[in-house]
Amino acid sequence: MEVPIINRDELKRLIETKGEYVLIDVREEDELKHGMIPTSKNVPMSEFNNFFDLDEKEFKEKFGFEKPKKGDNLIFYCRSGNRSHFATEVAAEKGYKKAKNYFGSTNDWSEIDSNVEKY
């Protein structure tokens, strides 16, 4: 399956212009100490399968933000782009047709944001 990608400049522009998107970090909790990309929410890969099965109320209680709608512009990232690639595939299969992978992920983002470190 071909997975749509977004590059760093496109993501940076979306963040700066407060565009319409939901940015999801699929790294595990212990990795978050290395910093997160601004505006992102965390849904650890280890809990990712539950992501789609929860109703809106359960989702908000578990992850702390509104469950994305199927028409939302979803962007996934991790450390290097591999887990987020898988997350994007799963999201597309579940009907999230606008899902994209930020393949560079935090390794790439760390080059422009001192709050995010490469590890």
pLDDT tens by residue, 6-46: 999 999 999 999 999 999 999 999 999 999 999 999 999 99
Domain ranges of the chain: 8-108
Do 91 and 9 form a contact (C-beta atoms < 8 A)? no
pTM value is 0.96
pLDDT tens by residue, 44-96: 999 987 888 999 999 999 999 999 999 999 999 999 999 999 999 999 999 99
DSSP the chain: ----B--HHHHHHHHHTT-S-EEEE-S-GGGGGG---TT-EE--GGGHHHHTTS-HHHHHHHHSSPPPPTTS-EEEE-SSSHHHHHHHHHHHHTT-TT-EE-TTHHHHHTTT-TTS---
Catalytic (active site) residue 62: no
Phi, psi torsion values for 75, nearest 5 degrees? -130, 125
CA distance 35 to 107: 11
Tokens of 9: 């400049």
The CATH class given to the 8-108 domain equals alpha beta
The one catalytic residue among 11, 74, 78, 99: 78
